[in-house]
């Protein structure tokens, strides 16, 4: 996937769900993985000609697990003239040493989001952009069905009233295969995830299940994605009357 296609798919989501308004200051959560770096490229590229003016800041929450070389990301943000902030935390130590969590993912996500949102507010941002792509949306829906018995997926945007922040997901229309292709084409400075749970989560199980379903039933991911978009899920934007 080239930058033009990435920006086209991203703009589809931005326009369809009115994610950006004139004057927004958007914090991009940068984990160091391919998804968040692709989001940085997409929003930086659109910033030049999108009809609504917006500012960008990039933020990384460092879990304190070590082996996280962020210098290449710092240089990329500098090249893009996007301010970059790293938040040092002890989240990793709290989860794995103090609490010795056997299933830390939910608590980790909550703590990471809390740190990210607080820094976003401190920097004057009114929106936070997460790098969830199409497969993330599908997998979240399947996880809700399998483990909770309900049809649910995260919304394209969510207003956090306690923080007065809006979370947006501009990559929701982008297939993961395109993100992987973009990573390779543009040689994104991806940082390996130092988390010991990486690759051993319920989400990883559902990701592999989805790949198997696609192999056995070609096109199933597109159909699942359409089911989410048209599913009238509580908390999602209401469909506009034609």
Q: What is the pLDDT along the chain (242 residues), one digit of tens a residue?
A: 899 999 999 999 999 999 999 999 999 999 889 999 999 999 999 999 999 999 999 999 988 777 778 999 999 999 999 999 999 887 777 776 666 656 677 778 888 899 999 999 999 999 999 999 999 999 999 999 999 999 999 999 999 999 999 999 999 999 999 999 999 999 999 987 666 666 557 888 999 999 999 999 999 999 999 999 999 898 888 765 44
Alpha carbon distance 84, 58 (integer Å): 5
Amino acid 191: pLDDT: 85
Q: 73 is written with which tokens? A: 């990301």
Q: 129 is written with which tokens? A: 């952009």
Alpha carbon distance 121, 82 (integer Å): 17
Amino acid 89: pLDDT: 83
Q: 240 is written with which tokens? A: 């506009």
134-143 and 176-186 helices, crossing angle to 10°: 140
Alpha carbon distance 109, 143 (integer Å): 16
Give the CATH fold of the 3-229 domain.
Rossmann fold (3.40.50)
Task: Count other Cβ atoms within 10 Å, centred on residue 19.
Answer: 24
71-79 and 34-47 helices, crossing angle to 10°: 10
CA 95 to mean position of chain CA atoms: 22
DSSP reduced 3-state for 29: strand
Amino acid 206: pLDDT: 94
Amino acid 230: pLDDT: 92
Torsion 7-12-13-14 (CA) sign: positive
pTM of the model: 0.91
Amino acid 137: pLDDT: 96
Sheet containing 165-168: order of strands: 84-88, 54-62, 24-29, 127-129, 165-168, 157-160
Dihedral pair phi/psi, residue 210, rounded to 5°: -65, -40
Amino acid 83: pLDDT: 97
Alpha carbon distance 188, 69 (integer Å): 14
């Amino acid at each position: 996937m080239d930058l033009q296609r990435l920006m086209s798919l991203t703009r589809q989501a931005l326009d369809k769900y009115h994610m950006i308004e004139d004057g927004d200051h958007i914090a991009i959560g940068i984990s160091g993985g391919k998804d968040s770096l692709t989001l940085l490229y997409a929003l930086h590229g659109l910033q030049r000609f999108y009809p609504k003016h917006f500012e960008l800041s990039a933020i990384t929450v460092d879990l304190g697990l070590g082996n996280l070389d962020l210098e290449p990301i710092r240089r990329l943000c500098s090249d893009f003239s996007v301010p970059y902030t790293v938040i040092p935390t002890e989240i990793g130590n709290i989860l794995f040493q103090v609490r010795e969590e056997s299933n830390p993912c939910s608590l980790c996500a909550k703590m990471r989001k809390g740190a990210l949102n607080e820094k976003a507010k401190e920097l004057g941002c009114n929106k936070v952009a997460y790098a969830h792509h199409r497969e993330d949306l599908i997998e979240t829906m399947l996880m809700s069905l399998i483990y909770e018995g309900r049809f649910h997926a995260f919304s394209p945007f969510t207003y956090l009233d306690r923080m007065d922040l809006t979370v947006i997901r501009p990559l929701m229309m982008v297939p993961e295969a395109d993100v992987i292709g973009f990573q390779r084409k543009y040689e994104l400075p991806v940082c390996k995830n130092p988390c010991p749970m990486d690759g051993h989560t319920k989400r990883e199980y559902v990701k592999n299940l989805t790949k198997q379903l696609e192999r056995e039933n070609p096109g199933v991911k597109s159909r699942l994605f359409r089911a989410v978009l048209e599913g009238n899920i509580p908390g999602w934007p209401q469909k506009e009357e034609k």
